[in-house]
Amino acid sequence: MNTLNPSIKHHTIIGGLLSIWGFLFGFFARPFEHGTMDLEVWIYVSVGFSILIFLSYAVVIWYQKIIYQKLSIWNITLEISTYILFYLVYSISTYIYYKSSFVKGIYDFSEFLIKIIFNIFLIMTPLLFAARKYSLKLIPSKSDDIVIKGDNKLDVLKIKQSELICISNSQNYVEIFFLEKDQLKTKLIRSSLKKIQSDFDFLIQTHRSHLINPSHFKSWKDSNTVSLTQVEIPVSKNYKNSLLSL
């Protein structure tokens, strides 16, 4: 798993689902019981162990959030570390609860790991993996769409950022050059070049009357003109330096 769903909400849901599974598994399989608990007590015990699953996964949520914010990447090593952290926290906290006066567990820690935690590990790990894998599908896709709005309510143009070529000043309007099915199209919108530039910071100014989308830069036609996709735009001396790196 080379990516991570950073959503706290989605991982909280995963923790909740694991907690519910933990209660059902604990109640029906009764891995912690030694034949001394009645039904009411065992319900309370199962609730306690399911809460510990949720709290252990909450530690994972906190851990991966900090790591992801610092590194801005995710890889298989970091993913495995979340599993190790989860089972480490869960094993220790569960054993403390298991040995409490409420549960009165009879195993020492090594027996507890072998006879109880190992079985839980075998069953829970595929569920945890599937839940975290599915969470990746819930990551919102980054839309390439942009909406250019003018002063009038009807002055709206929705296109993909990659389709926008350039924008030129035209008195009280701006003329937008864009591609539609690989054909050059234009649209006039009542707005200012300054407002358009503040709304879309990826645009580069080449002239006091022109903005270009740098992804459509093709070449320099001459020292005062650049060739874009199906368009040529003048370049003034004041803005030339910003284009030399393209």
How many alpha carbons fall within 13 Å on the CB side of residue 202?
Answer: 11
User: Which domains, from first to last, does the chain contain?
Assistant: 8-138 (no CATH), 145-242 (2.40.50.1020)
Question: Has this prediction a pTM greater than 0.85?
Answer: no
For residues 136 and 5, the answer to whether their CB atoms sit within 8 Å is yes
- 159-169 pLDDT, tens digit per residue, is 999 999 999 99
User: Which residues, including other chains, have CB under 8 Å from residue 114's CB and lie 6 or more apart?
Assistant: none
Res 116 pLDDT > 70: yes
Which residue's entry shows tokens 């008195």? Answer: 171
Residue 200 vs residue 29, higher pLDDT: 200
Res 135 pLDDT > 90: yes
For residue 61, count other CB atoms closer than 10 A to its CB. Answer: 18
> Which tokens go with 196?
């358009």
Q: Strands, DSSP E only, in 50-151?
A: 145-149
Confidence label for 67 from pLDDT (cuts 50, 70 and 90): very high
pLDDT for the residue numbered 246: 67
- 171-193 pLDDT, tens digit per residue, is 889 999 999 989 999 999 999 99
> Which tokens go with 221?
């036609």
- Alpha-carbon distance of 18 to 52, in angstroms, equals 10
pLDDT for the residue numbered 35: 58
For residues 24 and 18, the answer to whether their CB atoms sit within 8 Å is no
